[in-house]
Amino acid sequence: MKTTLICLLTLLVSLKGISQDSKLTVAILGDQTIAEVNINTDEFMTGIKAVMDMVEEEGKALPESYSLAVMVTLHKDADAGFEVYSKPMLNPDKVSAMLKKFRMVKMGRAKFIDFPVVIGFNVGENFKKIEIESPHDKIVKEYEEANLAQKVLLNKQWAAEHLPILIAFESGVEDKFNGVKDFGVQLSKLDFSKKQDIKKLTDNNHNYWRATMEMSSGNLLIPLTKILMLMSQGEFDYAYKFAEILPMFSGNGTAATGYLREINWRLEVFNTQLEQEIGKGIALHDNGDYEEAISVYKAILNQYPNSAWTMYEVYFSGNAKDIQEGKVELEDRAEWDKAKIAVYGANPLYNMDIRANTGKEAYLLYRRFEMSTLFKNKDERLKDVFEYADIAMDLGVYNFAAQLFWLTANYDKDASEKSLMRYMYCLEKLGVKDLKDNFNYDFEKVFKAIEKEKEDEMRNSQAYQQMKKS
């Protein structure tokens, strides 16, 4: 990928500098890190040179006070689109004549998503002399103005459209990376705009975990693919749990870095709006209007069915209403035992539990609470990632725990072996049992030691001890 992009950028720079007096400026607005799989580079470079020559010719023919820019966008299912910008505004007939010339240039098509480039003449540094609304600016505006239901649909569509790009990288690797290649080939046969079993495709999939292990440190292509898979199915709660951790391990200049930035922006905007909607229900609940609060929550779930927080609030208001009407006792947890199946199904790491009846339940309740104490100190981030993984393992969320243990095994030298052992333990729990054969350890003994250590931690915990005394 790097060779292709260097060639592309070198060409554009050299073309821009045809002469010292050239007023030509070029900006690639598309994601350069995915250009290798998204465009036919040779065809694109030939076409863009022709367009640049035309823009320079047209620009030189205009008065010196004029600024001219042409945006070229490669599409997947249509020929390249051209938009002309100028300051002052050009005569419409002049613009039409320009567009007719530009459209004669063969640019090729994008393979997966739009790839825009803008070429300017006399536009100043960073196009300061002329106003151009980039395609991404339009996407941001549309997304931020969308309601909750529309955001759900936009996120699912965006993930399904971008997954083939990641899959193309995976299926196109060298044969020696069997796990990555086989994982990519497996996914290439699927349509993620339709219902897919993400757990089967990732958590219980040998190829997924082998691929994870084959990638170099800082290249998070595999877990990034999982995030987009979750988003394509509308599982934003759980996708966000991965997305908020991975950026601290992502190498600069990788496709994953840009994607993680986009994902976190999308989900943070979404969660802000979701919080506002849930807040309306909480206000009604606090006023004792439990039935109306439940109606608000159910309306939210009609738009976003996978909101663990909303599910919890449905239970909480429903339980308060039942207590008020004398249908249940305060200590009755039967309804919570039913509700938490859906809550933890949407977000296995939801940090709330209601009450505990046993020492083990008390310990796990406290472990959920402990998640909220992490990541307060920037200098303790690696330690907190390990602890986060350890909590997830205690809660039986082995896929999340495994992902984080693998990251700490590569980045935290002090915890490297301990992380690796726990990673393998989690894979064993997920039913992926053969990858441990690549390591020279007595894993039967290792796994028993881990289980004893975790049992001792639980029994010696204050939460467990207090419950045993009561």
Q: Render pLDDT for 249-297 as a digit per residue (tens, 0 to 9).
A: 998 888 899 999 999 999 999 999 999 999 999 999 999 999 999 999 9
Mean pLDDT of 165-172: 97
- pLDDT computed for residue 134 by the predictor: 86
Above pLDDT 70, what percent of the chain? 95
- pLDDT computed for residue 128 by the predictor: 77
Neighbouring C-beta atoms of residue 144, cutoff 10 Å: 11
What distance separates the 2 farthest-apart alpha carbons in the chain? 90
pLDDT of 456 over the 70 cut? yes
pLDDT of 107 over the 90 cut? yes
pLDDT of 1 over the 60 cut? no
- pLDDT computed for residue 330 by the predictor: 86
DSSP secondary structure string for all residues of 377-401: SGGGHHHHHHHHHHHHHHTT-HHHH
Mean pLDDT of 6-25: 56
Mean pLDDT of 206-235: 97
Q: Say which residues have a Cβ less than 8 Å from residue 98's Cβ, sequence separation at least 6.
A: 54, 58, 70, 84, 90
- pLDDT computed for residue 469 by the predictor: 76
Mean pLDDT of 379-407: 97
Residue 12's pLDDT band (boundaries 50, 70, 90)? Answer: low
Above pLDDT 90, what percent of the chain? 83
Q: Distance (Å, rounded) from C-alpha 95 to C-alpha 99?
A: 6
pLDDT of 10 over the 90 cut? no
pLDDT of 381 over the 60 cut? yes
pTM of the model: 0.92
Q: Say which residues have a Cβ less than 8 Å from residue 77's Cβ, sequence separation at least 6.
A: 109
- Pull the structure tokens for residue 119: 């070429």
Mean pLDDT of 143-163: 98
pLDDT of 345 over the 70 cut? yes
Mean pLDDT of 21-46: 87
